[in-house]
Amino acid sequence: MPDAGLSYHAAVSKFSTLTVLVAGDFMLDRFVHGKVNRVSPEAPIPVLSHGRDDVMLGGAGNVVANVAALGGRAIPVAVIGDDEAGAQLRRLFDARRIDHGRIISSANRSTTRKTRFVAQQQQLLRFDEEVVASLAPGDRQAMVATFAAEIERADIVILSDYGKGALWNGVAAELIALCRAAGRPVLVDPKGTDYRVYRGATAVTPNRKELGEATGLPTASDAEVEAAGRLLRDSCDLDFVLATRSEEGMSVVEAARTLHLPTKAREVFDVSGAGDTVIATFALALAAGCEMGMAAEIANAAAGIVVGKRGTAQTDPDELLDSLSAGRSGSSFDRDGVVRLAAAWKAEGLRVGFTNGCFDILHVGHIAQLEDARSRCDRLIVGLNTDASVRRNKGEGRPINIETDRARLLMALKAVDAVVLFDEETPIELIRAISPDLLVKGADYTIDQVVGADFVLASGGKVHLSPIVAGRSTTGTLGKIASLG
């Protein structure tokens, strides 16, 4: 069952206790790097001067690599070719100390290898060496038997379908049936357009293009993604659909709600394998006890990290927690998100501060108060009145700036680590939920007037009254504007 009180830090710390069974199409990703300085005299094509080769685990192998990099234990189950590429794949597993004893080598199979030629960080060409075919009867029987023997040791299962044939001809359905019988959740990274082959899985994780192709519906907007996700969920008897949307983040479509998460990527260099990172991280978070939204947030953060790296990349727990703690994925957090964030910071031994206000017309007095508050703690959370609560407190005509603009301005400040909106008359419930180590308010208040002061002091925290900058106020600014006519 999901743990509503789980923090990011606690969830990621659990990854090392979890086992993920991964089955599907295992392959190699090879990157040939070099420089292009001239065009061939033989044909109008660039000449690549060879620099170096990088060989990485690809396909389902990259899912396994992501699970291992995040601290989890992965059990890879597959049939690969009894060839040099297959031997190289095993050596890569050995280098990562990943047990590959459940991977079957077969003379009936060819190990897929994708070679990308890259010059000055630009891919020039991809060359695929593969034979796409269903498993031979004997290989299929061996793989399913191996999967069935290992499923009891797994906390969660991933089927990684790259369309090379390992899950074709009813294999996916057979593995999903084994998962359901064992009571194990199973996530599928799908391929093709007929997702009925994954009927009964816990979820599928298509990208936006794949979602559109599988449903025949448009997927440009949030509403369109939700409609397509619901159709897919209902028609394939899924618990939910996790749709990745490139630079727009991801969406989780459940029976009763849909969550849209903006991307956490600051700069995109290479999207190779990002879907593998999403499904591996999401599976670990789900198995760790995260509720759906939190699992998606963690997976979204992991994807944002790997697309900022070159090649088929992974992330690790420390890097992931740093990204989650940075918390700058949007203009503000919802209440549950900021409570989890505060808990994660505290678990890392960081001192969490809190202040609140309308911050309608941001001025130097605000900046001074926020900088003073941040200097006294490691992370500062700002509670921001919604537009409706500002109107109730200050009357019609206020706020001057809408809540999303006010939140974005605050998040742009170095002193502010997170912003959360509240609609109540006071932020007392928010303060109780966050339980800050430090509560800050302006020195125009006294301690006994500060909302939440008694709670924070009783909890062992401190209350600080920040100096006021004379002559700087929103009311004064509005008065000057009015005087100009």
Residues with a known catalytic role: 276
Using CA atoms, how far apart are residues 115 and 118, in angstroms rounded to an integer? Answer: 10
- Cβ-Cβ contacts under 8 Å for 123 (sequence gap 6 or more): 116, 117
Using CA atoms, how far apart are residues 141 and 63, in angstroms rounded to an integer? Answer: 23
By C-alpha distance, which of 43, 40, 69, 71 is closest to 57?
Answer: 69
β-strand pairing of 240-244 with 19-24: unpaired
SS3 98: coil
| Strand-pair partners of 424 | none
Q: Residue 244's CB: how many other CB atoms inside 10 A?
A: 26
One-character DSSP codes across 288-318: TT--HHHHHHHHHHHHHHHTTSSSS----HH
What the block records as the tokens of 114 is 């994708």
In 236-291, where does DSSP find H-type helix?
274-287
**Residues 154, 210, 192: CA angle, nearest 5 degrees:** 75
Using CA atoms, how far apart are residues 226 and 399, in angstroms rounded to an integer? Answer: 33
Length of the chain equals 485
- Distance set, CA 53 to CA 50, 116, 288, 441 (Å): 8, 10, 37, 58
Burial of residue 309 (CB within 10 Å: 0-12, 13-18, 19+) is middle
Using CA atoms, how far apart are residues 362 and 379, in angstroms rounded to an integer? Answer: 20
Say which residue the tokens 């700002």 belong to: 382
Provide φ and ψ at 417, rounded to 5°: -100, -25
What is the residue type of 90? R
Instruction: Determine contact, residues 473/365, Cβ cutoff 8 Å.
Output: yes
